[in-house]
Amino acid sequence: MSNFGQQLKDLQKRLDSSKATLLFTCGGTSGHINPALSVAEYIKQNYPALQIVFVGSPQGLERHLVEKAGYPFFALPARPFHKNPTALMRAVWTLARSHMQARCLIKALKPLLVFGTGGYVSAPLISAAKALHIKAALHEQNAFPGKSNLFLAKNIDLVCYSFPATAAAFSAAKRTELTGNPVPERFFHQDRCQAREELGLDQNGKYILVVGGSLGAKRLNDAVFELARRYRAARKPLPYHIILALGAKGSEQYTAAVQEYGDLIDCRNYIYDMEKYYAACDWLVCRAGALTLAEIAATGKMAIFVPYPYAAHDHQTYNARAFVEAQAALLCPDNELTADFLEATWQKLAADPQKVEQMGKQAEKLAFPKAAEDIAEALIELSGYKS
Ligand SMILES: CC(=O)N[C@H]1[C@@H](OP(=O)(O)OP(=O)(O)OC[C@H]2O[C@@H](n3ccc(=O)[nH]c3=O)[C@H](O)[C@@H]2O)O[C@H](CO)[C@@H](O)[C@@H]1O
């Protein structure tokens, strides 16, 4: 039996035939997976007669996170497109195979709808759903939609989007809804004093959280270590605390720096309770991934965004601008983020705590506390499901 056939057989054994099924796609970063999981969680709790199957690519982080959250995962053989002609041909062939397998999967499971939240499998699955006249919906996390979502949105039943300015891009969809990006409830109920106490931090200290998205950011890490090097050379302690999340990818390359400057900088490979760190810090220096922005809004913090310059269509700059225009954040282009910049900003912001607080309050106004519920309810309505 083929790998596809075996996977399908295993999945069917696991599914409850008395329940209706929804198919969700998910991508390979936390920014893609977390929103889909939040929506799935809402549906699981409020619509127990429905079951959700996640579809993703076999190589990414998604299988691990989805299975850890207790949902079935089905892998389709999708790959990214490359400029290299051989890799491109392979990607086109894989896409075609993936589309055929998506059709078989849909015919076998008869889902009420297919919901695309990103990832390489979104295109084959949504296009297969459209071809088979199954209801289809998308969620766009970023302020500037990717090519794939723009293409798939044509004539789709529903697009949920996250930044007001994105609406116009989806005019070819049958219906659009501004829902925001889902953030777990716990992010909305944090208290700074309590968070500092729980994390063992000084109630009167100044804390700057530096975080480069789920994978980390070399530019941010290097600027922080350069700052530490200067203070060490001057034999002075830093006048503020820096908590640096090095990132899940590549933290080994900083082992020597962590050993050398670990007494000046609080270094972590990956932070698992981000909500507490957001709450405890005075402000952040971070990439402008969609989920990071949504979480910052939920915790009402001021941030200095350093958009990842190689993100598709520079979408992180568009994300950041939405906050900068609302006077909720500052923007620093990647090539200007240096130790000097960190030092100068520290001096400016430490002298103006009201500004920091005011920007945090502006950020709070950009939060979407009901995003998961709004997306889930829009999907349920679209699916025609009656409880
Ligand atoms: C490099 C790139 O193209 N990244 C994209 C990717 O997001 P990517 O996953 O890189 O970044 P996001 O900001 O969207 O999400 C990061 C997530 O990781 C969590 N986190 C991070 C560090 C840590 O130590 N602990 C931790 O839990 C954050 O709390 C957040 O939930 O998909 C997002 C959504 O489409 C896009 O906006 C980003 O541009």
Per-residue pLDDT 10s for the chain (387 aa) are 678 999 999 999 999 999 999 999 987 777 778 899 999 999 999 999 999 999 998 877 788 889 999 999 999 987 777 777 787 888 788 888 999 999 999 999 999 999 998 778 899 999 999 999 999 999 999 999 988 899 999 999 999 999 999 999 999 999 999 999 999 999 999 999 999 999 999 999 999 999 987 778 999 999 999 999 999 999 998 999 999 999 876 677 899 999 999 999 999 988 989 999 999 999 999 999 999 999 999 999 999 999 999 998 999 999 999 999 999 999 999 999 999 999 999 999 999 999 999 999 999 999 999 999 999 999 999 999 987
Cβ(289) to ligand 1 under 6 A? yes
Quote the pLDDT of residue 1. Answer: 62
DSSP secondary structure letter of residue 251: G
Please state, in angstroms and rounded to a whole number, the distance separating the CA atoms of residues 342 and 202.
21
Backbone angles phi, psi at 168, to 5 degrees: -60, -30
Nearest protein Cα to ligand 1, atom 8? 31
What pLDDT, in 10s, does the model give residues 260-291? 999 999 999 889 899 999 999 999 999 999 99
Cβ(141) to ligand 1 under 6 A? yes
Cα 147 to middle of ligand 1, angstroms: 19
Please state, in angstroms and rounded to a whole number, the distance separating the CA atoms of residues 152 and 99.
13
**Residue 142 is labelled as binding a ligand:** yes
* Nearest ligand 1 atom to alpha carbon 308: 1
Q: Do the Cβ atoms of 246 and 269 come closer than 8 Å? A: yes
* Nearest ligand 1 atom to alpha carbon 271: 24
**Residue 30 is labelled as binding a ligand:** no
Helix (H) or strand (E) holding 302: strand 302-305
**Residue 362 is labelled as binding a ligand:** no
Question: What are residue 303's DSSP bridge partners?
Answer: 284, 329
Q: Do the Cβ atoms of 207 and 280 come closer than 8 Å? A: yes
> What is the number of other CB atoms lying within 10 angstroms of the CB of residue 219?
17
Q: Do the Cβ atoms of 282 and 208 come closer than 8 Å? A: yes
* Nearest ligand 1 atom to alpha carbon 286: 13
Quote the pLDDT of residue 26. Answer: 85
* Residue labelled with tokens 């979502």: 149
Cβ(292) to ligand 1 under 6 A? yes
For the chain, helix (H) and strand (E) counts, in that order, are 15, 13
**Residue 271 is labelled as binding a ligand:** yes
Q: Do the Cβ atoms of 36 and 64 come closer than 8 Å? A: no
Nearest protein Cα to ligand 1, atom 3? 311
Quote the pLDDT of residue 350. Answer: 92
Say if residue 17 is exposed, middle or buried (CB neighbours under 10 Å; 0-12, 13-18, 19+). Answer: exposed
Please state, in angstroms and rounded to a whole number, the distance separating the CA atoms of residues 263 and 208.
16
Size of the chain in residues: 387
Quote the pLDDT of residue 250. Answer: 63
Please state, in angstroms and rounded to a whole number, the distance separating the CA atoms of residues 209 and 241.
9
Cβ(66) to ligand 1 under 6 A? no
- Classify 161 as helix, strand or coil: strand
Quote the pLDDT of residue 57. Answer: 87
Cβ(181) to ligand 1 under 6 A? no
Please state, in angstroms and rounded to a whole number, the distance separating the CA atoms of residues 190 and 240.
22
Task: Detail the DSSP E strand segments found in 29-157.
Answer: 50-56, 73-75, 113-116, 135-140
Cα 291 to middle of ligand 1, angstroms: 6
User: Which domains are seen in the chain, by residue range?
Assistant: 3-182+369-383 (3.40.50.2000), 186-364 (3.40.50.2000)
- As a whole number of Å, the CA-based R_g of the chain is 22
Q: Could you give the dihedral angle defined by the CA atoms of residues 297, 300, 302 and 305, in that order, rounded to the nearest 10 degrees?
A: -20
Cα 207 to middle of ligand 1, angstroms: 21
Cβ(31) to ligand 1 under 6 A? yes
Cβ(211) to ligand 1 under 6 A? yes
- Classify 54 as helix, strand or coil: strand
Question: What are residue 222's DSSP bridge partners?
Answer: none
Nearest protein Cα to ligand 1, atom 39? 289
Nearest protein Cα to ligand 1, atom 36? 289
Cβ(117) to ligand 1 under 6 A? no
